[in-house]
A and B are shown apart, each in its own frame.
Chain A
Amino acid sequence: MLTVRSLHTYYGNIHALKGVSLHVRSGEIVALIGANGAGKTTLVHSIAGLLRPQKGSILYKEEDITGLAPEAVVERGIALVPEGRQIFATLSVEANLEMGAFIHRNRRDQVRRDMDALLERFPILRERRRQLAGTLSGGEQQMLAISRALMARPEFLLLDEPSMGLAPLVIREIFAIIRRLRDEGRTILLIEQNARAALQIADRGYVMETGKVVLQGEGRELLAHREVQRAYLGKGSKEIWDA
């Protein structure tokens, strides 16, 4: 469904992506794990149209979407749930959801129906529909960020660090939601520093280091991989690459 080939992207002066290739098949959850600064967010922003790759290509449903504007990417059916939620804190929950439906702004009825369905799905958001988003808890804000992305009716979701700053119980809830989104037929690229949680729900995963992919495999396989365990799951020493 999504194919990235030999992508190079600069983030400012930093050569953040150095020839990254990966693919996500329809209906898969694919996890992208790696330490801070490995290039995960740069990759997601390149796909979402927020950064312009210097070299390489991004194909979505066989169409080259490399370098498209963010809005055009959303129109193709790809929505981003950004790192740190980035909800509009001074707007109400409902207003946030409406922003997510920006590309459908001329279809008032559809937007209304979608919003009702989401509020049905997340009762906590319905309770707080008129509250300012900034007053929500971290977990609620994450739910809102995901819901806002869903308002665009995407088939493909890019989730950037959805567990960041959340308590373990809340993380579990968010990951249950992610799994359900997939079971409903959506395809997901999940960026995570929380490698264990991500690999547990992922079909496949890629491990990035300094802008490059160094490992890949099935989720379970990577979870059991000693390099991954050492470097990202806190087992044993971290000296694995200190040659």
Chain B
Amino acid sequence: MTVESRPIWEPEKECMDRGELEQLQLERLQATLNRVYRNVAFYRKRFREIDFVPEDDLTELADLKRLPFTTRDDVSNSYPYDMFAVPLREVVRVHTSSGTSVNPRVVGYTKRDLKNWAQLTARVLASAGVTHDDVIQITFAYGLLSGGLGIHYGAERLGASVLPTSVGRTERQIKIMQDFRTTALVSTPSYALIIADRMEELGVDPKQLSLRFAICAGEPWTEEMRREIEERLFVTATDNYGISEVMGPGVAGECLEKTGMHFQEDHFLLEVIDPETGRECEPGELGELVITTLTKEAFPVIRYRTGDLCRIVPGTCPCGRTFRRISRIEGRCDNVVVIKGVNIIPERIGDILEQVKGERPVYQLVATRRGRLDQLEIWIEITERLFFDKMREQRTLVDEMRQKVANFIGIVPRIKLVERGSLEREGDRVIPFVDRRSE
């Protein structure tokens, strides 16, 4: 399929010369640091601890790396307003993150923040192919979470016709999709598939719909899921990224090249670091996404550790945008395991294994150590599809699995086939990773 050419929402920004962009980033970073140093006790204290005075110590962008990271806990501990950088009377909107910790993470927006936000989500939607001619159905949660309203204002900014259906009630979503002739669906990738499943049950033919685009975000997903969404709903599916603490939706979004999400570098600084050591990752290397806001007024964040794992995609994009791209979010840091210095997400190994036989095997990653050498073993429970009478065929299968995983993570694993039901479980779920290195 050829890539349709679609207008870029703000070409003077999104296609900016890199040198000009860096000057703009420096100016905005200096203003941001001057403001947080003056207005946010948390940052003032943090900066003072390392004797960092923004006006003297930030002369180029790289100087940012001297500053400590800001974590989810830092934000939780500032509940509700302690990290706001403007008085509450300047704040016109408040959202919170979905959170597992006791206190949700609370973020605020000034008038200008909201204007910028709408502009950024409009960019993301435009790059996903949406125009003012589209009817866009937003199935993200409206309310305190930032997803629904974030996309909503961007879609209005773009001039699209917005259906704020919010979450759930899948049958109703499908009926609206049919009757209102929805052309663009905004949802989590898994919800797009739930819609596809339900359509099948209801006997709704997706080809009869007006749907052309699925704009997905909100959870890690895979290329296989994209393919499935595209094939079953007859759409072009793109990925975009948002996080409430930084802004909400609108931080990064894929263009129709579908080779990674353009990171809105005129409003956010992008870093990818090794979550263990804090070292900066090379382009292409998996690490934790760290973001600094450049224009946020009410709730700026400095070097915020998102906990999301991705890579910076090397090279430039033929779409003309000069902003660098990040890969899809491959998982959460909490789930990452490090073997031979490589960050591995057990979930993603399952995706690879699934490609081999079209079925997701029951498996477990085991790290072992021989002498000083770490080793990765993948234990897979045998099933009929994975079992062969002939040794040679069995070997071919195992070789293929090993090869595929090695290509993906850069480590050659040992693959062990084990009896069904023999892997260590927690409840009825197999524990994805066992560390035997210290044994």
Contacts and interface: CB of A to CB of B under 8 A. Distances in A.
Interface in B21-50: 23-24, 26-28, 30-31, 34-35, 38-39
B407 interface: no
B38 A19 contact: no
B23 A5 contact: yes
A22 interface: yes
Given A6-B59, A21-B27, A55-B59, A214 B112 contact: no
A212 B112 contact: no
B38 to A, nearest CB: 7
A16 to B, nearest CB: 12
A56 interface: yes
B56 A19 contact: yes
A212 B87 CA distance: 20
A214 B34 contact: yes
B54 to A, nearest CB: 7
B60 interface: yes
A241 B58 CA distance: 22
Do most interface residues of chain B lie in helix, strand or loop, or is the interface mixed?
helix
Nearest to A209: B34
Given A19-B54, A216-B28, A225 B34 contact: no
Contacts of A8: 56
Contact of B31 (A5, A213, A226): A213
Contacts of A21: 23, 26-27, 30
Given A5-B23, A216-B31, A243 B38 contact: yes
Nearest to B19: A3
B90 interface: yes
Contacts of B112: 217, 221, 225
Given A226-B111, A243-B38, A19 B31 contact: no
Interface string B100-129: 000000000011100100000000000000
Interface in A182-197: none
Interface in A204-223: 211-217, 221
B90 A18 contact: no
Contacts of B54: 19
Interface string B151-169: 0000000000000000000
A216 B267 CA distance: 13
A211 B54 CA distance: 12
Contact of B27 (A211, A216, A221, A243): A216
Interface residues of B, number: 25
Interface in B231-278: none
Contact of A6 (B24, B30, B115): B30
Nearest to A241: B38
Interface residues of A, number: 26
Interface string B1-36: 000000000000000000010011011101100110
A21 to B, nearest CB: 5
Nearest to B24: A23
Interface string A149-163: 000000000000000
A19 B54 CA distance: 8
A240 interface: yes
Given A3-B23, A19-B56, A22-B27, A213 B38 contact: no
Contacts of B359: none
Contacts of B39: 241, 243
Nearest to A225: B112
A19 B30 contact: yes
Interface string B51-72: 0001110111000000000000
Contacts of B38: 214, 241, 243
A243 B39 CA distance: 7
Nearest to A20: B30
A44 to B, nearest CB: 17
B55 A19 contact: yes
A116 B147 CA distance: 64
Given A214-B35, A226-B90, A243-B38, A5 B111 contact: no
Contacts of B55: 18-19, 211-212
Contacts of B60: 5-6
B27 A23 contact: yes
B369 to A, nearest CB: 49
A221 B112 CA distance: 8
A34 to B, nearest CB: 13
Contacts of B26: 5-6, 21
A97 B39 CA distance: 48
A214 B59 CA distance: 15
Contact of A214 (B20, B31, B111, B115): B31
Contacts of A243: 38-39, 87
Contacts of B58: 6, 19
B34 A56 contact: no
A6, A216, A225: most-surrounded residue (chain B CB, <10 A): A6
A23 B30 CA distance: 13
B15 to A, nearest CB: 15
A108 B32 CA distance: 51
B244 to A, nearest CB: 24
Nearest to B110: A226
Contacts of A23: 20, 23-24, 27
B31 A215 contact: yes
Contacts of A18: 55-56
A227 to B, nearest CB: 8
Nearest to A17: B55
B269 to A, nearest CB: 15
Interface string B302-334: 000000000000000000000000000000000
Contacts of A215: 31
Contacts of A214: 31, 34-35, 38
Given A19-B56, A21-B23, 10 more contacts: A5-B59, A19-B58, A21-B26, A22-B27, A212-B30, A213-B30, A214-B35, A216-B28, A217-B112, A226-B111
Closest 8 CB pairs of A and B: A18-B55, A6-B59, A19-B55, A21-B27, A212-B34, A213-B31, A21-B26, A23-B23
7 contacts: A5-B26, A6-B26, A19-B30, A19-B58, A216-B27, A216-B31, A221-B115
